[in-house]
A and B are shown apart, each in its own frame.
Chain A
Amino acid sequence: AQTVTQSQPEMSVQEAETVTLSCTYDTSENNYYLFWYKQPPSRQMILVIRQEAYKQQNATENRFSVNFQKAAKSFSLKISDSQLGDTAMYFCAFRYNFNKFYFGSGTKLNVKP
């Protein structure tokens, strides 16, 4: 069975600082995809960043980047220059085999002015 673990229920960061959210997963699959989704308070869940397991290069999207360690089954999200609009729940997700997705329990990020 596939599992996704986010061990940080809640985190805080000062505006303009950098924060890293952790995610580990367990799978016996070799080909899969990893995602970070953002869910602002009472708003729609949207994709932040995506990583294909077969790619060694870490994905980057503007201020968001990942540290993908396949052997360690770790997939952390780094947010640089944090902004107030980054305040949200962040979910790590794992996808394999016919569009099956598994989500972690989420990390609540609070960006302080």
Chain B
Amino acid sequence: EAGVAQSPRYKIIEKRQSVAFWCNPISGHATLYWYQQILGQGPKLLIQFQNNGVVDDSQLPKDRFSAERLKGVDSTLKIQPAKLEDSAVYLCASSSWGGQNTGELFFGEGSRLTVL
């Protein structure tokens, strides 16, 4: 079974530029999450999708961050314009519940963003 795929793995941009991250969850997983992980801290939820609907985006800085999950499969997280404090690893995760699925999170390898 293929895992959660993310790209790019690394991105370096200057402040005020834009960047986009892509995530493809495990096949059949209805729930998709984007987390921001600043060095030395735990993951912070940015947005949670259930199929193609948003469940929680209360901590998403909507003036600069946007995310979509068209057709309820893969997802894109965009930052425009980027700030220095956006430097972090952006983790995508997916989960499923029911049957043999036990609701745990499966993470991708993350996309490391450096804003100069």
Chain A residues packing against B (C-beta within 8 Å):
33, 35, 37, 43-47, 50, 91, 93, 95, 98-101, 103-106
Given the contacts A95-B103, A98-B55, A44 and B41 also touching, CB distance less than 8 Å: no
Given the contacts A99-B95, A106-B41, A44 and B104 also touching, CB distance less than 8 Å: no
Please indicate which of the listed interface residues B43, B44, B55, B109 has the most CB atoms of chain A within 10 Å of its own CB: B43
Which residue in B103, B109, B110 is a CB contact (below 8 Å) of A33? B103
Bound-state CA distance A10–B91 (Å) is 22
* A residues less than 8 Å from B55 (CB atoms): 98-100
Given the contacts A45-B107, A99-B48, A91 and B97 also touching, CB distance less than 8 Å: no
* A residues less than 8 Å from B106 (CB atoms): 47
* A residues less than 8 Å from B43 (CB atoms): 45, 91, 103
Given the contacts A44-B110, A46-B107, A101 and B102 also touching, CB distance less than 8 Å: no
Chain B residues packing against A (C-beta within 8 Å):
3, 31, 33, 40-45, 48, 50, 55-56, 91, 95, 97, 102-110
Please indicate which of the listed interface residues B42, B44, B50 has the most CB atoms of chain A within 10 Å of its own CB: B42
Asked if B48 contacts A100 (CB within 8 A), the reply is yes
Given the contacts A33-B103, A45-B91, A46-B107, A101 and B45 also touching, CB distance less than 8 Å: yes
* B residues less than 8 Å from A91 (CB atoms): 42-43
Asked if B103 contacts A105 (CB within 8 A), the reply is no
Q: Which 6 A-B pairs have the closest CB atoms?
A: A103-B42, A45-B107, A105-B42, A99-B31, A44-B109, A103-B43
Bound-state CA distance A12–B65 (Å) is 38
* B residues less than 8 Å from A93 (CB atoms): 105
- Nearest chain B CB to A108 CB, angstrom units: 8
Asked if A35 contacts B109 (CB within 8 A), the reply is no
Given the contacts A98-B55, A100-B48, A105 and B105 also touching, CB distance less than 8 Å: no
Q: Please give 11 more A-B residue pairs, beta carbons under 8 A apart, in addition to A44-B108, A103-B44, A106-B40.
A: A35-B105, A44-B3, A50-B102, A91-B42, A91-B43, A99-B48, A100-B48, A101-B33, A101-B105, A104-B42, A106-B42
Q: Nearest CB to that of B4 among chain A residues?
A: A44
